[in-house]
Amino acid sequence: MVEQKTLRDRRIEQNLGLVHTCAGRFRGRGVEYDDLVQAGCVGLCKAADGFDASRGFAFSTYAVPMILGEIRRLFRDGGSIKVGRTLKDRARALLRTQQEIALELGREPTVGELAQRCGTDASETAFLLGAALPTVSLTAEDDAQNRQIDVPVPPPDAQIEDRVSLQAAIDSLAPDERKLIELRFFCGWTQTKAAEQLGISQVQVSRKEKRILAKMRQALQSE
């Protein structure tokens, strides 16, 4: 049960970028971007709860339609998500903790690190961070009232396609290869620490990592 919960939280944390990518498709349509992100996070959490890996689909492939569905629901329901006072208070406390960790580490903490410090799961932490975001209009006008503020973003469809392709390449790896990639690039472990976990030498990790990355690169280029 604990392992399953950890896998769910990891899926949410690793795919938060999908929420921003999907939300970007609806910029300038009358709903604030922060509200779009909050709705997208709801969809991401639902996707993590309902995902069945045995069906053979990558999680990102399953999650994108659910994220988009929650964002579209926001438009059908008529606009902004209202954030209650209790939720705002919790979000402010979370931001204070985030600042404390940033001072300790010399960098911004990940969602996982913040969740661990606060004793919450990744999905709840991500939701609170979304609730803490200030409201900024992307359709504001200047003094002459004749200009719309546009925030440049990469084409969202291309980003989604890239993430889906990358996930497919990772899913095609053998279990031990996926484990190495997970430890090195998702957990941020050094080659030495990964070697200790896998029971092999640092040199073997280095060689194996190069071989796996070349294999993934070839798979992505052949698509």
CATH 1.20.120 is the classification of domain 2-154? yes
Question: Any idea what DSSP says for residue 81?
Answer: P
What per-residue confidence (pLDDT) applies to 200? 93
d(CA 207, CA 72) in angstroms, rounded, equals: 46
CATH of domain 172-223: 1.10.10
d(CA 149, CA 137) in angstroms, rounded, equals: 8
**Half-sphere exposure (CA, 13 Å, Cβ side) for 94?**
29
Helix (H, G, I), strand (E, B), or coil: what is residue 107?
coil
Residue pLDDT, tens place only, 115-169: 888 887 777 777 777 666 655 444 444 444 444 444 444 555 555 666 777 787 8
- Helical H runs in 51-84? 59-76
* Domain layout of the chain by residue ranges: 2-154, 172-223
What is the value of pTM for the model shown?
0.38
pLDDT band at 205 (very low <50, low <70, confident <90, very high): very high
Distances (CA, A) of 194 to 197, 206, 216: 5, 10, 19
Residue 75, token pair as written in the block: 């438009």
pLDDT higher at 203 or 74:
203
Indicate if the alpha-carbon torsion angle 154, 155, 158, 160 is positive or negative: positive
Question: Any idea what DSSP says for residue 189?
Answer: -
d(CA 74, CA 84) in angstroms, rounded, equals: 17
Q: Of the spans 105-119, 177-191, 201-215, which averages the highest pLDDT? A: 201-215
d(CA 200, CA 190) in angstroms, rounded, equals: 13
CB 39 within 8 A of CB 73: yes
Nearest to 88 by CA among 46, 134, 45, 122: 134
Residue pLDDT, tens place only, 83-94: 556 666 777 788
What per-residue confidence (pLDDT) applies to 138? 42
Helix (H, G, I), strand (E, B), or coil: what is residue 129?
helix
Task: Tell me the pLDDT of the chain averaged across its residues.
Answer: 77
